[in-house]
Amino acid sequence: MIHPALRAYQTVTETSLTGREAEAVCFRMLIDELEAANQSADSQVRSRALDRHQRLWSMIMKANILDNGLTTEEDRRLFVRLADQAQKYGVQAILDPEMSLVPLIEIAENVLAGLEMAPGGSEQGSSALA
């Protein structure tokens, strides 16, 4: 007989996302929010989307500054550079409400495509949020 707590744990782990899948979900949500903000005339919608954009890339940068031994230095440098570029454009978009959010959407779509193309099943996720 399996203990109820163990059964509950097994149920959760069978349906939980891998690290890479969770990262892909984050980027899908970011893309949706940026697209909505790019189409909206509501400054609050735009501000909220840009705030989330900046926070996500800040987490990615922080995760890749330190070597956790799971990611090559080349990949870490790539993610830090990408995060830096995305955040710089994000700051400009915050300061200029007329700037298009399309470049930020394209960056997020490219990252999402990379996450979806990579071999699945990685429990540790990609270097993005490791």
Digit-coded pLDDT (tens) for 19-75: 678 888 899 999 999 999 999 999 999 999 999 999 999 998 888 888 777 778 888
- What is the percentage of the chain residues whose pLDDT exceeds 70? 75
What is the rounded distance in angstroms from the CA atom of residue 126 to the CA atom of residue 42? 34
The hierarchical CATH code for the domain 18-117 is 1.20.120
Kindly report the length of the chain: 130
- Going by the DSSP 8-state scheme, the letter that residue 125 receives in this structure is -
CB atoms within 10 A of CB 114: 15
What is the rounded distance in angstroms from the CA atom of residue 122 to the CA atom of residue 64? 17
pTM of the model: 0.76
Which residue is it, tokens 């509950």? 8
What is the rounded distance in angstroms from the CA atom of residue 12 to the CA atom of residue 61? 30
Query: Comparing 50-59, 94-103, 118-127, which segment has the lowest mean pLDDT?
Result: 118-127
E strands within 1-130?
A: none
What pLDDT, on the 0 to 100 scale, is given for residue 7?
62
